[in-house]
Amino acid sequence: MSGFFNQISRRKFILTAGASASSVFLKGCLGNPPENLTGGSSQAVPTAQTVANLAPEQTPETKSVKLGYIPIVEAAPLIIAKEKGFFAKYGMTEVDLSKQASWGSARDNVEIGSAGGGIDGGQWQMPMPHLITEGIITKGNQKIPMYVLCQLITHGNGIAIANKHQGKIGLQLASAKSLFTELKSSTPFTAAQTFPHVNQDFWIRYWLAAGGINPDTDVKLLTVPAAQTVANMKTGTMDAFSTGDPWPYRIVTDKIGFMAALTAEIWKNHPEEYLAMRADWVDKHPKATKAILKGIMEAQQWLDNFDNRKEAAQILAGRNYFNLPSPEILADPFQGKYDMGDGRKIDDKSMAAYYWKDEKGSVSYPYKSHDLWFITESVRWGFLPKDYITNNAAKAKELINKVNREDIWKEAAKEAGITAADIPTSTSRGVEEFFDGVKFDPEKPEAYLKSLTIKKVSL
Ligand code: CA
């Protein structure tokens, strides 16, 4: 046993010399140039007194940071932290949230950093921070070290299917196999994710493979930005897509399709998207990083109070952010109510998106065992070579230990006065179980891969 899942990282922040203890004063206006796709509001920030009480050791080195987001419910903690003044409360009065046109743009923007007009970090599918760190998805394979700092959300994602497949496709695909085979000989079943080799690709692949459909040979998989998924299904070019709310639910409300599965059905309380930042920014601004985390943690707690979710839906649906025709599209899913569009109705709060805590414990905490599942699943489909997982996953663990900064999360949580019960003591959430009964034991990733029938890797 490597002790990977019970070690306590000894890495400490490199303290920046000369950080000033001066009080933080809010600017009269936090607005941004109109051409900037930033959702700013000067009304929701707290009063100057709220931010003036920061102890010197908690006063951030900078008040400003530029974080990217994609307009899906995963981004809610960032948007709420800004709009409800939680970033400002911890001294981050100039957080610029920058809407990204696609995951590819987010990747390009973090490559150049805010100094070059890009972003310092933001919302990521997994394992994008690891792939950027390794230089696998960057231009010229340049290695850009990133740190994963917290998980933003669990649930809130789904697999949407075009209406022409009503009655033929559902969560369980056993009876749909002949349909896929039939289509394969003419126009293969076409499914889209929002960026290759990350979450949405994994959810659709897991669901298909669990039903006996090989995602590499039985269907065609494409990449489409989340905001374009509805349009593409409308024009009939897509049979299925996998992304975050509100997009899957919108095809139901727009009556162009139905939902075969919520990701909450595929893997209850699954890891979803994360906050990650450029390592150079974090190393230079350790206190500001913790201030950002504290703001996000407070937003996550606020979001998990279901009484706040109507207001959350209103803020997110706004023109600056998701630009939805109505906040109602978010309101029902936020309460765990899904009209699946095929006659199936879900009304179960445990299926809603969670931001701070779920049935299994912390959502916000970045468990290393979840990073390992994403790396293992990457090996499953041939996205990463198998030497990441063989040899007791030594290579995967080395990468995860470099990228995952749960130690910073813990420091921020303690500074924010988070109760000890809400701070996990293990970096493993233990054995995970999927809807088809398959289990992932983070101590034995290779055994998990061996147990799977449909996969690309040969072990
Ligand atoms: Ca997602």
CATH 3.40.190.10 maps onto the chain at 21-154+270-339+349-448, 157-266
The terminus-to-terminus CA distance of the chain in angstroms comes to: 21
Ligand 1 geometric centre to CA of 354 (Å): 13
How high is the pLDDT of residue 50? Answer: 61
Question: Does residue 21 have a pLDDT over 90?
Answer: no
Ligand 1 geometric centre to CA of 106 (Å): 14
Contact by Cβ (8 Å): 345, 339: yes
Please give the model's pTM, rounded to 2 decimal places: 0.89
Report the percentage of the chain scoring pLDDT > 70.
89
How high is the pLDDT of residue 4? Answer: 60
How high is the pLDDT of residue 5? Answer: 66
Question: Does residue 255 have a pLDDT over 50?
Answer: yes
How high is the pLDDT of residue 249? Answer: 83
Name the CATH architecture for the domain at 21-154+270-339+349-448. Answer: 3-Layer(aba) Sandwich (3.40)
Write phi, then psi, for 429 (nearest 5 degrees).
Answer: -90, 0
Non-local CB neighbours of 194 within 8 Å, separated by 6+ positions? 70, 102, 103, 125, 200, 223, 224, 225, 226, 229, 242, 243
Number of other CB atoms surrounding residue 61 within 10 Å:
17
Instruction: Give residue-wise pLDDT tens across range 106-118.
Output: 999 999 999 999 9
* The dihedral formed by the CA atoms of 12, 15, 21 and 23, expressed in degrees to the nearest 10: -70
Question: Does residue 253 have a pLDDT over 80?
Answer: yes
Pick the CATH number of 157-266 from 3.40.190.10, 2.60.15.10, 3.20.20.120, 3.30.230.70: 3.40.190.10
Residue range 382-388: mean pLDDT, rounded: 98
Ligand 1 geometric centre to CA of 301 (Å): 20
Report the percentage of the chain scoring pLDDT > 90.
82
Ligand 1 geometric centre to CA of 125 (Å): 6
Ligand 1 geometric centre to CA of 273 (Å): 6
Ligand 1 geometric centre to CA of 23 (Å): 38
Lowest mean pLDDT among 22-26, 53-57, 389-393: 22-26
Residue range 356-362: mean pLDDT, rounded: 97
Residue range 72-92: mean pLDDT, rounded: 98
Please name the helix (run of DSSP H) or strand (run of DSSP E) that holds residue 95, with its range, or none: strand 94-99
Ligand 1 geometric centre to CA of 348 (Å): 20
How high is the pLDDT of residue 228? Answer: 81
Question: Does residue 227 have a pLDDT over 90?
Answer: no
Residue with tokens 């779920």: 358
Task: State how far Cα 444 lies from the chain centre.
Answer: 25
Non-local CB neighbours of 48 within 8 Å, separated by 6+ positions? 24, 25, 26
Ligand 1 geometric centre to CA of 255 (Å): 22
- Give the span between the Cα atoms of 157 and 341, in whole angstroms: 15
Ligand 1 geometric centre to CA of 82 (Å): 21
Ligand 1 geometric centre to CA of 180 (Å): 25
